[in-house]
Structure 1
Amino acid sequence: MASSTARISAPTRQEADPQSPAVGAAAAADVRVTPMMAQYLEIKAGHPQSLLFYRMGDFYELFFGDAEQASRTLGIVLTKRGKHLGEDIPMCGVPVDRADEYLERLIAAGHRVAVCEQTEDPAEAKRRGGKSVVKRDVVRLVTPGTVTEDRLLDPARASLFVAVARRRVSDDAHVYALAAVDISTGRFSVIEALAAGLGAELARLDPREVVVADTIYDDPELAGLWRDLKVLVTPIARDGLDPASAERRLKDYFGIASLDAFGAFSRAEIVAAATALAYVARTQLDARPSLAPPRRAAAGSTLAIDAATRANLELARTLGGERAGSLLATIDCTLTPGGGRLLAERLAGPSTDLALITRRHAAVACLVDDTILRERLRAALKATPDMARALSRLTLGRGGPRDLASLRQGLAAAGEIAALLGAETEIAVELTEAADALRRLDPALADALDAALADELPLLKRDGGFVRPGYDAGLDEARLLQADSRKFIAGLQARYGADTGCRTLRIKHNNLIGYFVEVPQTAGEEFVKPPLNATFVHRQTMAGAMRFSTLELGELEAKIASAADRSLKIELAVFEALTAQLTGAAPAIQAAADALAALDVAAALAHLAVERRWVRPVVDASLAFVLDGARHPVVEAALARGGQPFVGNDADLSPPAGTEAGRILLVTGPNMAGKSTYLRQNALAVVLAQMGAYVPARSAHIGLVDRLFSRVGAADDLARGRSTFMVEMIETAAILNQAGPRSLVILDEIGRGTATFDGLSIAWAAIEHLHHGNRCRALFATHYHELTALSERLARLANVTMRVTDWQGEVVFLHEVVAGAADRSYGIQVARLAGLPPAVIERAKLILAELEKGEREKPVAALIDDLPLFAAVASRPAAAPAAPGPDPLREALEGLDVDDLTPRAALDTLYRLQALAREG
């Protein structure tokens, strides 16, 4: 979705909608406007930058420019409805019962929608007479960052909007504060970041919408950031967002006297949090979501990863934007929506707190070691629905019976899991704390829901039928009246006949007087006398019959007539009572939902470790970095699906003896040999280790990393006038300007996008800067073999290469990293594997041989003059097909001395034979 922007004015300021007719003109005395259209225009004027869903019966209608935009986005028919100011009024509409489906598409396209409902019964408007229209008002603004409907949300992704504020720290520098709110779960967090880290923090949070004061939005230095964000950016007026007003807003919302109860916040963080609350109030109107108190995250508490590095490493999405094939998709073994969201959050922001990392590893280790507990816990978690989002919808007044059922099911599962963990004598601290949070739930909540809710539930509360029979006597009676009113009438008739002794007494009904008692005229004469006239009231005298009414019959008639309305009213009262009970326990339920998510993540990571043979890493405060037999988790999983093994490789970036900074590995080798995979797998090991997961290796020792940088692959940004090489240099510049001693840097093929000597010079200088200036741990892959000589001059630079071998003129990639440097690039062999025409391959070999010789004897320009042109080679007559030669695979097998092979030689031979078989 392309980045888009919507400005929201202060409540006291109205802006004209550029796509709608001016309200002022419409209200002019000489212009006739229908009452309904006048109402529409007035409501639309208050929401100029939103598509207005105007409720008309069973449809939400859109008019004027809104209709034209919605028609294009939704692919629905654009029609007309009357005229306005002499012009046809464009119109389109969507059914109310399918509104969520259309909202989903509009929100995904970056639109904001104002939902305007009928706030009175149409019958009331009719009673007012004249040309009165049904009263309507906007009840909610729907934006990408404030949706709560289940079908509009990704269960495994947080639905955040982020409010941004800032404070000046010098004449030309600011510190930014970000307040992240997820209305769908109640999450609320704040953090500060320097200007250079603002983009990285937004990339970590991955919001669906960003809200900023208009002064910040209009800052030209931030224009590029807002443009690059692929989410809706909403500027709002600063009115009421000064520090004093902001603090008062926070206190009022949470009902506290001092913010000290929540921790120490900077002025910018308070303003950002208040901006978020102001946006909540503006979009939710009268609804008040149950938000957790704001939780402050310390700056630097997570591993800093900029947007480019996230994209290069494909943490949450591939370069193509898909979740499948990303690291997140590969490691996600969670069983609950909340667990999936927490896993994504931890992956997006791996911790830099050693104590927290150790706690998470201990929880995973506990479940790795205890198979029975792990499997029982995961079995119980399967029955846990999304309690956090169900609770949020209920507190906002948008919930339904199935949300109550989700909480019923979740509370029951929480009790089961608490009992399961309580039976364990020794478990990790994180598991113990989660169990304590589950035990703090009031068991009466689950009992109340279980007693009240039926087994089969409708989607909407207005449909009724969700309260269990036997829960409410009045409801049971109303339902019975609906189901079998004749039975009640027959019973009353039998009782009246017995009491009066009139066997011919009948209870009948007509549309004029409703239900009545009818008896023969001779018997009726007794009914008008005491004592029967105290019960029976004479209504009509007919030829041969008399009709009476009774108070009891009148009450029964009223009950029958209103049974449906009465039963729904009772059910809605039960619903509201249960919702109020749950809302009162919202903090405990939210804490339990968080605990269940943490348990799910720990159990999922333990399951992953066991299934894929991952190990617990040692993470400490040193600068060590030693991986033994490390593997790329995504590539390994893909190979495993095809029954192929992954070749693990070692990496040692620890400071060499006598030095105090990390090592730089210069990686050489041909394309297709696995250099990029090797670079990425080491970076991913850091991400996994510091998020609290095990890592794919035989062993791992990682000194804490504070910043992770990756420059891998080639891409351009033509929309902004940037070539592939310019993008490469911008990303490289960011790394060289920001990396420090605790950073991990991976760089691939720096300088390849320009002339050879220019690129070589840039790569050379970059390596020296990493060594002397940044002093960080790094992996640097290159095809410039000349750079390997730097290892003799730079103490912390070591050469490694991708092992490749020739087999009867064919290149075989062994995907093994060994010490040393590559002697050549094997580029022509890779080109042949890619399918270049044989004539091109042969010509390239000839030119390469001459270039390698000419490098010592004559310049390239002279070689161009001496070598015959390719056209002359290509014009030669095609040679006759060669006779079939010997079978290389058969010859290789016949020439093997199996008894004389070492294990390593045997493995190499297998790879060569496999390569021959594929070629054959």
Structure 2
Amino acid sequence: MDPALGPPEQMAEKRDELTPMMAQYHDLCARYDDAIVLFQVGDFYETFCGAAERTARLLEIALTSREDSTGEYPMAGIPIDNAESYIEELLEAGYRVAVADQVEEPGETSGVVERAVTRVITPGTLTEDELLSSDDNNFVAAIAREGERLGLGLLDVSTGDFYATSATAPESIADEVSRFDPSEAVVGPDAPADPVPDDCMVTPFDARAFDRERAADKLAAYFRNPDALLAADAEIRACGALLAYAEYVRGGEHEGERGDVDDEERVEAVFEGDAEQRLEYITQLTRYDPREYLLLDAVALRSLELFEPRTVHGRDDATLVGVLDETASALGGRKLRDWIRRPLLEPARIEARHDAVAELKSAVRTRERLHDRLREVYDLERLIGRISRERANARDLRSLRDTLAVVPQIREQLADADCERLRSLRENLDPLADVRELIEDAVVAEPPIEITEGGIIAEGYDDDLDDLRGTARDGKQWIDDLEERERERTGIDSLKVGHNSVHGYYIEVTNPNLDSVPENYQRRQTLKNSERFVTPKLKEREDEIVGAQQRADEREYELFCEVRSEIAAEVERVQGLAEAIAALDALISLATVAAQYDYCRPEMLERDGRDGLEIDVEGGRHPVVERTQESFVPNDARLTNDRRLAVITGPNMSGKSTYMRQVAQIVLLAQVGSFVPARAARLTPVDRIFTRVGASDDIAGGRSTFMVEMDELATILREADERSLVLLDEVGRGTSTADGMAIAQAITEHLHDRVGATTLFATHHHPLTELADELGAAFTLHFEVDEDDGEVVFHHEIAPGAATGSYGVEVATAAGVPETVVERSRELVSEAAGDDVDDGESIEEREDAIDGDASAEPTAGAAAAATADGGDIPTDIATELRALDLAHLTPVEALTELDRLKRLLEE
């Protein structure tokens, strides 16, 4: 256990000697020993001992100390008013947080103030707006095993989005976990934790929650007939346990009224079905089959830069979602990300989205008006979640009212919609007129944040409240008039009537006028220059005002809770409205991008049997790169079942990787329901996109770049089929030239002969272009490059056939490698080729001589010598030279290698 967590040892040794407050802290740490306990002391949340040292270091706050009769303890605290920002840092550091609030007023108790854990905050169960991204979901996952099958549940506690699936292969569950990217996971007994990525917190939870019958009972409390809703016992175990965990974590929200609850009691309350624990806003559970959507594993998500740039210095908007997201609301932003996360496979469903995008693209004024209205929409999903959890204040209700006021205007803009998708959305835009009227009648237009101090219920809503307010108002008016009356009666012109929270109402008379004070004035307070008095009548009126005001505040809170509960009962209607708004906003975003950046509607082809894919793109562009460059050169892509494996050659920086990703992103965009950056496109829906693009290693896992590459290739060769799109970039770089060429050729043959996947293979192994001529469905492409006075000119245009060279040294020159290194590189390339090079021979021809001579490469350790330019070069050095991939060496790496080889030659 982390030394910052659990009962502080310093306190545990003398528990019976602790002060009452520190004993409270010790006991709460013991109950929540897997969390950092934030312990309220006045206006601060404090931590002590090891937890204080840890939080002070993590949060960069002052470490102080507390001293009492039992000793001195390290102490660190954060202000309650700004606690969320600090809690977020603790969560990001991998901790759970238990918030222990004061549940008694200090003035109402003679002993130590009682404290209780009112919230357990974990990365996957956040509901606080300040800690959540507004435009993305925050999922917590659960994995359970039943026999050979693994069940996966995914729940966004802030919105109520709830999904379930299952598979027999852990790799399939890992793919789905990567797709949804949960921030936390609970794993059942005997279930593997391997599908959970390293950046996801794995939280232990009571194994009983995964019991099949117990999980089914928990699901039955939320949904009718869960056995029919879910397809496997493993899914029931995972989803039931997930609900139990969500109840356990969020159940503390009501404990301020119930007093302190032991952690074990909290778990038992969940198992016993405590009604107060139930999350009423979780009303739907979507069971899906991964095969219903285009599958994108973690490697593809990362390589295609769907949500995050591949480089640490990449722009945040340099992602596919970054260029597509023109949504006006948080609802639309999350829906768009869900569509990108789960592209469709069925052409009819894809076409329905395309129809809507087409209509919205052409109806410019309607689209712009809708966008303007949607900007006024609040986050209904999280709003109704807070309302259902009794965490919403009066301003939240007014936000709901303001959103509902916009719905009739949105419906009006869609009144003339032609396509079925938009007409259906219009029908689902329930204006909830009754809810809107309730809020308008009950809650004032600009209520305060606090809901217990009055001022939130509108005049005329409740007769009893109006009477109490009238009594208080009349009393205050009497007091307002009292000052003038008393001045006239006493003749004291400086007499003042005032009020403070300690002494209530008073009459203040300065010292020079004390002789004029009437007999019925009773002294209340003595000041330096004056005295304060009360009269029996003033005291009576004060009691009436305070009593009426207190009863009015209590009545307001009671009425507010009733209104909030009445709205919570309409949770499913509000969620249905939120779903319709989210989809409409996402479609408008796609239409806006299509109009602004000249995207075309792709023609979607039927998935006819198992005859492979057709990808026919005319003038395609990379949707992200074209936004970050001053100009972009469009390129075609034509792949069919008879022409499905493209071997692409050309030097680095010519555009091979961009081209491959461009094709994949166009396919993905089409299946999302978007138009695509191209002049025209005909596409068959793809089942899965595989990528082996870019070099990376796994230092923590002890895997080299080459090992990572081989692992990813193994997955592709094992799981790809004729419905897959495969992107391969420079396979075999991490080993010798001979080995790399052999691996690349074997993979090419396997993908062509046995897998049948549509494949784009970018390579510097030029002999592969000859292999492509021998394979019936393979063909070659290359990027045009010119050499002008020794400098490479990239055209970024793709053309049939193979490249004539790699231009590695020229690329090094363009990258800024010192001229002396470049010239030495030319010499070494010439020497390694074993040719006498005349002045008219181009560097391209020299490189080709090496690239094409892999079959003649000597084995490492051979003792023979090769002669070039009259000098003897040891064969082992020549072998190393041939193995150098100049096109992929950084300038520093090239300089280091050349220096090392030069020194070997000089020895």
Give the equivalent residue in structure 2 for 1:680. Answer: 661
Q: Distance in 1 between matches of 2:135 and 2:460?
A: 38
Secondary structure of 2:771's counterpart equals helix
Q: Which amino acid aligns with 2:339?
A: R
Per-residue CA deviations over 1:425-483 (Å, capped at 9, x if unaligned) read x43222222222213x4302112223344443444435654445665566667778878
Give the equivalent residue in structure 2 for 1:204. Answer: 179
TM-score, L = length of structure 2:
0.81
Aligned-pair distance for 1:37? 2.1
Query: In the alignment, is the contact (CA less than 8 A) between 2:5 and 2:36 conserved in 1?
Result: no
Q: Distance in 2 between matches of 1:555 and 1:603?
A: 64
Q: Quick one: percent identity of the two aligned structures?
A: 38
Per-residue CA deviations over 1:71-111 (Å, capped at 9, x if unaligned) read 11111112222368x65322211222121222122122221
Aligned-pair distance for 1:668? 0.4
Aligned-pair distance for 1:380? 1.2
Give the equivalent residue in structure 2 for 1:848. Answer: 829
Q: Distance in 2 between matches of 1:251 and 1:22?
A: 46
Give the equivalent residue in structure 1 for 2:477. Answer: 487
2:56 aligned with 1:56: no
Aligned-pair distance for 1:841? 1.9
Q: Distance in 2 between matches of 1:513 and 1:754?
A: 85
Give the equivalent residue in structure 2 for 1:265. Answer: 231
2:373 aligned with 1:380: yes
Distance verdict in 2 for CA 1:32–1:548, change over 3 Å: closer
Give the equivalent residue in structure 2 for 1:155. Answer: 134
Per-residue CA deviations over 1:584-620 (Å, capped at 9, x if unaligned) read 1111001101110000000110111111111111223
Per-residue CA deviations over 1:823-844 (Å, capped at 9, x if unaligned) read 1111111111111122222232
Distance verdict in 2 for CA 1:845–1:107, change over 3 Å: same
Query: In the alignment, is the contact (CA less than 8 A) between 2:294 and 2:688 conserved in 1?
Result: yes
Give the equivalent residue in structure 2 for 1:42. Answer: 27
2:156 aligned with 1:182: yes
Q: Distance in 2 between matches of 1:850 and 1:635?
A: 39
Give the equivalent residue in structure 1 for 2:74. Answer: 90
Distance verdict in 2 for CA 1:493–1:155, change over 3 Å: closer
Q: Which amino acid aligns with 1:648?
A: P
Give the equivalent residue in structure 1 for 2:248. Answer: 282
Query: In the alignment, is the contact (CA less than 8 A) between 1:26 and 1:38 conserved in 2?
Result: no
Distance verdict in 2 for CA 1:849–1:481, change over 3 Å: farther
Give the equivalent residue in structure 2 for 1:576. Answer: 561
Per-residue CA deviations over 1:23-74 (Å, capped at 9, x if unaligned) read 87545xxx42222222222222111011111122222121222222211111
Distance verdict in 2 for CA 1:510–1:692, change over 3 Å: closer
Give the equivalent residue in structure 2 for 1:146. Answer: 125
| C-alpha RMSD of the superposition | 3.3
2:292 aligned with 1:301: yes
Q: Distance in 2 between matches of 1:342 and 1:778?
A: 31
Q: Distance in 1 between matches of 2:665 and 2:872?
A: 47
Q: Distance in 1 between matches of 2:825 and 2:730?
A: 22
Secondary structure of 1:720's counterpart equals coil
Aligned-pair distance for 1:850? 4.0
Query: In the alignment, is the contact (CA less than 8 A) between 2:91 and 2:122 conserved in 1?
Result: yes
Aligned-pair distance for 1:404? 1.6
Give the equivalent residue in structure 2 for 1:601. Answer: 586
Give the equivalent residue in structure 2 for 1:769. Answer: 750
Give the equivalent residue in structure 2 for 1:21. Answer: 9
Distance verdict in 2 for CA 1:516–1:64, change over 3 Å: closer
Aligned-pair distance for 1:140? 1.6
Residues 261-410 of structure 1: matches in 2 within 5 Å? 263-285=229-251, 286=254, 288-289=278-279, 290-320=281-311, 323-410=316-403
Distance verdict in 2 for CA 1:436–1:752, change over 3 Å: same
Query: In the alignment, is the contact (CA less than 8 A) between 2:483 and 2:497 conserved in 1?
Result: no
Give the equivalent residue in structure 2 for 1:883. Answer: none
Moved more, 720-729 or 804-813: 804-813
Of residues 81, 86, 96, the one that matches 1:112 is 96
Distance verdict in 2 for CA 1:785–1:572, change over 3 Å: same
Distance verdict in 2 for CA 1:301–1:604, change over 3 Å: same
Aligned-pair distance for 1:320? 3.4
Q: Distance in 1 between matches of 2:432 and 2:160?
A: 20
Aligned-pair distance for 1:197? 1.2
Secondary structure of 1:751's counterpart equals coil
Residues 100-139 of structure 1: matches in 2 within 5 Å? 100-126=84-110, 132-139=111-118
Aligned-pair distance for 1:577? 2.6
Give the equivalent residue in structure 1 for 2:514. Answer: none
Q: Distance in 2 between matches of 1:579 and 1:850?
A: 83
Per-residue CA deviations over 1:154-208 (Å, capped at 9, x if unaligned) read 111111111111222xxxxx32221111111111111123322122111100111
Moved more, 59-68 or 817-826: 59-68
2:429 aligned with 1:445: no
Of residues 227, 231, 234, the one that matches 2:200 is 231
Q: Distance in 1 between matches of 2:640 and 2:768?
A: 21
Q: Which amino acid aligns with 1:741?
A: E
Q: Distance in 2 between matches of 1:602 and 1:672?
A: 35
Query: In the alignment, is the contact (CA less than 8 A) between 1:16 and 1:22 conserved in 2?
Result: no
Give the equivalent residue in structure 2 for 1:654. Answer: 640
Per-residue CA deviations over 1:856-901 (Å, capped at 9, x if unaligned) read 999787456656699xxxxxxxxxxxxxxxxxxxxxxxxxxxxxxx
Q: Distance in 2 between matches of 1:837 and 1:719?
A: 35
**What stretches of structure 2 of length at least 5 have no aligned partner?**
255-276, 487-494, 508-519, 523-533, 836-848, 859-863, 874-907
Secondary structure of 2:292's counterpart equals coil
Q: Which amino acid aligns with 2:758?
A: R
Q: Which amino acid aligns with 2:568?
A: T
Equivalent residues, number: 786
Aligned-pair distance for 1:710? 0.7
Give the equivalent residue in structure 2 for 1:76. Answer: 61
Q: Which amino acid aligns with 1:558?
A: D
Secondary structure of 2:299's counterpart equals helix
Q: Distance in 1 between matches of 2:216 and 2:546?
A: 54
Give the equivalent residue in structure 1 for 2:165. Answer: 191
Aligned-pair distance for 1:554? 7.3
Q: Distance in 2 between matches of 1:16 and 1:60?
A: 16
Residues 409-808 of structure 1: matches in 2 within 5 Å? 409-421=402-414, 423-424=415-416, 426-439=417-430, 441-462=431-452, 464-468=454-458, 487-489=477-479, 556-562=541-547, 565-619=550-604, 620-622=606-608, 623-639=613-629, 644-656=630-642, 663-808=644-789
**What stretches of structure 1 of length at least 5 have no aligned partner?**
7-14, 127-131, 169-173, 497-505, 518-537, 541-546, 657-661, 871-920
Distance verdict in 2 for CA 1:843–1:863, change over 3 Å: farther
Query: In the alignment, is the contact (CA less than 8 A) between 2:617 and 2:638 conserved in 1?
Result: yes
Aligned-pair distance for 1:720? 1.8
Moved more, 16-25 or 645-654: 16-25
Query: In the alignment, is the contact (CA less than 8 A) between 1:19 and 1:66 conserved in 2?
Result: no
Q: Distance in 2 between matches of 1:738 and 1:493?
A: 88
Per-residue CA deviations over 1:114-148 (Å, capped at 9, x if unaligned) read 1112222333421xxxxx32222212211111111
Q: Distance in 2 between matches of 1:513 and 1:589?
A: 48
Aligned-pair distance for 1:509? 11
Q: Distance in 2 between matches of 1:282 and 1:472?
A: 37
Query: In the alignment, is the contact (CA less than 8 A) between 1:149 and 1:393 conserved in 2?
Result: no
Q: Which amino acid aligns with 1:613?
A: D
Query: In the alignment, is the contact (CA less than 8 A) between 2:96 and 2:122 conserved in 1?
Result: yes
Q: Distance in 2 between matches of 1:509 and 1:35?
A: 40
Distance verdict in 2 for CA 1:480–1:804, change over 3 Å: farther
Q: Distance in 2 between matches of 1:360 and 1:393?
A: 32
Query: In the alignment, is the contact (CA less than 8 A) between 1:211 and 1:233 conserved in 2?
Result: yes
Q: Which amino acid aligns with 1:315?
A: L
Moved more, 678-687 or 132-141: 132-141
Distance verdict in 2 for CA 1:111–1:577, change over 3 Å: same
Moved more, 847-856 or 798-807: 847-856
Of residues 167, 173, 176, the one that matches 2:146 is 167
Aligned-pair distance for 1:19? 5.9
